[in-house]
Structure 1
């Protein structure tokens, strides 16, 4: 995994291509604690139901729905990704093999922050009273720095993520961009620390080859598979 992250770090950044610079994140301490009851993002609960006269229950989590965008610079044949630290991924790796949630201070020598850095498609939460296309447009600008019209966002399909626990609704979009639409470095807003990363089609294909390993979520793989099936330039035999 660390080799994968290191190789991604050496890949071409779109921000550097356009003269913009994004300061890398530097995480100096990680620790675990209980989830507050007033969380704005996650609401845990238990659902009860009767099936074939047998009462059953399942623990569930209410999460916010999201949008995801396959972003493709057609002129240079580059797919655009984002990298960021994800605490849930870090916790999953840190507590692997244990049924319990990690607690206390994390040993950064044994578990460096880089293991929690993901490779993802541009996307974000549906937390505004706007259309899905408008939210996707904002995420493209905020995370990747491209100003695109909503008309250029092709709605691909809707699906659900984490159906065993959260089942949040996800909407996948596809958008083609050019260098002229690059108006900022991107990198997120507020306290977000997001790195914009460009990958060639060949590098991107390796992410979905049999036996590949990635630190991203299924939305990234799903979007890439759709892209290579429907949009990628055909490779001559």
Structure 2
């Protein structure tokens, strides 16, 4: 597991991937507005290894997930106030005397030190299981080629474009981005494994750990809430169970 430290949450004034906007519109005569982000479309790939009869996923640290878990671990404002009141109780009369004498200078000022959160959750709180994926950030590149490069770079399998099967496309993050993602299916074998490779235009290999989920454990894995995962993982496992598992004559434990 990667070592994650020195975490700081700061305002984002510019980004290469996200651009915030506000749209104004009228709906049934009522004026409304909505804040959203423009981002790239993407592809994701369900990879099935026919040699070992397992799915190939990517496990990686997601800062957004981690911050959500961090926020959940913080005490609520009411709890903070209660704790503050309990701690201040023995000093209450002394503070009143100071106020009466005009010695309460600086009272009420709030300061926050960087890194003052004492109970950071472990880095594993921000780790999710995902399908291999890639951004569609090159307009002239076919989606199948984006998917092929993603499989090679993230999981180390060299899959011909002709062997990629499109399953469907859908909208993700409809309340924030509304970006389109296209889902592919790819069958690989150990003969296709050439190792994680750099793709032209990338500065460095993508982060993430390749993990394998045995076919007979797939549906149990999909619905295990203790294993954080994206919706495409669950959907694609169900799709495989309904469309492909009879071919391999192996139960997926539904």
Which interval holds the TM-score relative to the shorter structure? Answer: 0.7 to 0.9
* Corresponding residue for residue 177 of structure 2: 166
Change (3 A) 1:218 1:34: same
The structure-2 alpha-carbon separation of the partners of 1:40 and 1:104, relative to structure 1 and needing over 3 Å to count, comes to farther
Give the Cα–Cα distance (whole angstroms) in 2 for the partners of residues 31 and 186 of structure 1. Answer: 31
Q: Measure how far apart 1:218 and its partner are.
A: 1.2
Aligned to 1:227: 240
Q: For residues 228 and 178 of structure 1, what CA distance do their matches in structure 2 show?
A: 19
Q: What is the aligned counterpart of 2:229 among 216, 222, 229? A: 216
5+ residue gaps, structure 2, are 77-112
For the residues of structure 1 that align with 2:61 and 2:132, how far apart are their CA atoms?
14
Decide which moves more: 181-190 or 40-49: 181-190
State whether structure 2 residue 144 is matched by structure 1 residue 133: yes
Q: Give the whole-Å Cα distance in 2 for the aligned partners of 1:214 and 1:158.
A: 25
Which of 159, 182, 193 matches 2:207?
193
What is the CA-CA distance between 1:234 and the residue it aligns to? Answer: 3.6
Q: Secondary structure at the match of 1:133?
A: helix
TM-score (norm 2): 0.75
Question: Counterparts of 1:56-67 in structure 2 under 5 Å?
Answer: 56-67=32-43
Say which of 215, 218, 222 aligns to 1:204. Answer: 218
- Mapped partners of 1:225, 1:125: distance in 2: 24
* Matches of 1:49 and 1:30, distance apart in 2: 38
Shift of 1:199: 1.3
| Corresponding position of 2:16 | 40
- Of the candidates 142, 156, 175, which is equivalent to residue 167 of structure 2? 156
In structure 2, do the counterparts of structure 1 residues 32 and 104 end up closer, same or farther at CA, with 3 Å as the change threshold?
Answer: farther
After superposition, the Cα gap between the structure-2 partners of 1:31 and 1:168, relative to the gap in structure 1 and judged at 3 Å, is: same
Quote the residue 1:176 is aligned against.
187
How far apart are 1:104 and its partner, in Å? 5.3
Q: Which residue of 1 aligns with 2:131?
A: 121
- CA-to-partner distance for each residue in 1:124-179, whole Å, 9 max, x for gaps? 11112300000000000000000010000001101000111111100000000010
Structure (1/2) with the larger helix percentage: 2
Which ranges in structure 1 are unaligned for 5 or more consecutive residues? 1-23
Name the CA distance, whole Å, in 2 between partners of 1:86 and 1:231: 31
Computing the radius of gyration over CA atoms, which structure comes out larger, 1 or 2?
2
Residues 61-109 of structure 1: CA distance to partner in whole angstroms, max 9, x if unpaired? 112111000000112111100111111111121223889xxx9548585
Instruction: State how many pairs are aligned.
Output: 209
Change (3 A) 1:234 1:216: same
**In structure 2, distance between residues paired with 1:191 and 1:228:** 32
Give me the CA root mean square deviation.
Answer: 2.6
* Distance in 2, Cα, partners of 1:106 & 1:85: 22
Aligned to 1:54: 30
Cα deviation, residue 45, structure 1: 1.2
